Amino acid sequence: MVINCEKNFDIKKLTSFKIGGRINEVFLPENIDEFSQILDENPDIKVFGNLSNTLISDDGYSGKIILTKNMNSIRIENNSIIADCGVKGPQLSQTACENNLAGLEFMIGFPGSVGGEVYMNASANSQAISDRLNYAICYSKNEGIMKLYNKEMEFQYRSSRCQKENLVVLQACFELEYSDRFAIQKRMNENLNFRKVHQPSLVLPNCGSIFKNPAGDSAGRLLDSVGAKNMISGGVRVWEHHANFIVNDRAGSSLDVLNLMFEMYSKVKENYGIELEPEIRFLGGNNKKENELCKILYKK
């Protein structure tokens, strides 16, 4: 089969941060069969979805990656909705609503796609992926295509079995409940209004929460207490309304973001002895300073 592949790919416009250089080779599969073929031929390739939680180096990446954004089919089976990994959260939430299915209202404000949201057990407004997932179709380097039911996913806060075993989510089935469409839409509107108050709009390029919440505490609270809202690095800054968000409102660079992340991380470690763990992913490797910062921030 012929699979869409682009070389020397300029990825900047696709990232939520609006930051990033050129990628040597990018594969754009449209279904599970194409995805599996790419993985079989390139077993160590890196996989990305909607790039909503990814910082890509301005110096680019010299390897190959898969972008799953074209894997975007949705189908309804009774009270279940089955979505490919590239389907965006708001589209899935709206489709459920149009079919009088409740349970995915919290996804209406998510900028990411289904694959990443299942992978990290995304949550908001007291709802989580783990509440509604029936099963996920995943790819394992060792075992190929796997079907994992909810209990097999080992869901925890912002984590799943996928992270532990480096599994790629290709498709997800959610079991929902029939409900009144207007009541569903009302909850979606409430969630959107909450997000507008507590998180920056993508009009201000950002990648969502920068650090995960440590056990029993809030990364935003810790960062606020050490004065993070006043921190600036080059063309990026910490959002004035929430200390766990970085916005790129002055054409900042990838190094600007990593420098700011390091300053935020260092202040919390200095004051509380807590080492915050990044929630956003980083793709790079060609910049010495960035590599040094990532060894500290990402422990690798």
Residue of 73, 130, 152, 158 with catalytic role:
158
- Backbone angles phi and psi of 151, in degrees to 5: -65, -25
Respond yes or no: is residue 279 known to be catalytic: yes
Q: In angstroms, rounded to a whole number, what is the distance separating the alpha carbons of residues 101 and 107?
A: 13
Evaluate the CA torsion angle 70, 42, 116, 267 in order and state its sign: negative
CB 99 within 8 A of CB 81: yes
Residue of 209, 233, 253, 254 with catalytic role:
209
Respond yes or no: is residue 209 known to be catalytic: yes
Other Cβ atoms less than 10 A from the Cβ of 40: the count is 10
Specify the DSSP element, H or E, that contains 114: helix 114-119
CB 163 within 8 A of CB 119: yes
CB 276 within 8 A of CB 297: no
Which residue type does 238 have?
Answer: V
CB 88 within 8 A of CB 73: no
Q: What is the SS3 assignment for 181? A: helix
Return the structure tokens found at 58.
Answer: 């301005």
Residue of 152, 175, 277, 279 with catalytic role:
279
Q: In angstroms, rounded to a whole number, what is the distance separating the alpha carbons of residues 62 and 264?
A: 29
Q: In angstroms, rounded to a whole number, what is the distance separating the alpha carbons of residues 236 and 150?
A: 39
Which residue in this structure is represented by tokens 């202040």?
Answer: 267
Which residue in this structure is represented by tokens 């004065």?
Answer: 227
The catalytic site residues sit at 158, 209, 279
